[in-house]
Amino acid sequence: MTRKQRRLMLIGMAGLVLFAAVGLVLAAFRDTIVFFNSPSDVIAGNLEPGKRIRLGGLVEDGSFVRKEGMTVEFTVTDTANAIRVVYTGLLPDLFREGQGVVTEGAMAPDGTFLADTVLAKHDETYMPREVADALKKQGHWMGEEAER
């Protein structure tokens, strides 16, 4: 084997090891990546129960119900569709009806969303990008008009 062939073989082996490492990293991330979905995406997508997603939209007016303990229920809507969310824990201080919210959790077999994290907007003009994009997609975005 010539010196050039050994060098090419070494480069090929290094490339193979690098390719395998990237594959392992991507496989590890696949289980931890959580994608954002609007209620319309969830209803149209037929997500399998138990798959972790982020659900975002507006908290529907009049939908908030405090259950026993720290459990609350509310509806997240993108004005076209709505999904009932059940959450146990402390809500952010700025959480309220009619405002943008992003929840993280999984769909239950009965069609409710079991959230383990609730994120609310942090000021009057901020809307999570994913929520704003979903509302724009539905044709209900009034962000620029609301700012005037």
Q: Which CATH class is domain 36-120?
A: mainly beta
- Compute the distance between CA of residue 1 and CA of residue 7 in angstroms, rounded to an integer: 10
Q: Where are the domains of the chain?
A: 1-31, 36-120
Check the annotation: does 87 bind a ligand.
no
- pTM exceeds 0.85 for this model: no
93-108 burial string, b = 16+ CB within 10 Å, else e? eebeeeebbbbbbbbe
Check the annotation: does 140 bind a ligand.
no
Give the per-residue pLDDT at 86. Answer: 95
Instruction: State percent of the chain over pLDDT 90.
Output: 39
How confident is the model over 27-45, as pLDDT tens digits? 888 777 777 888 888 888 7
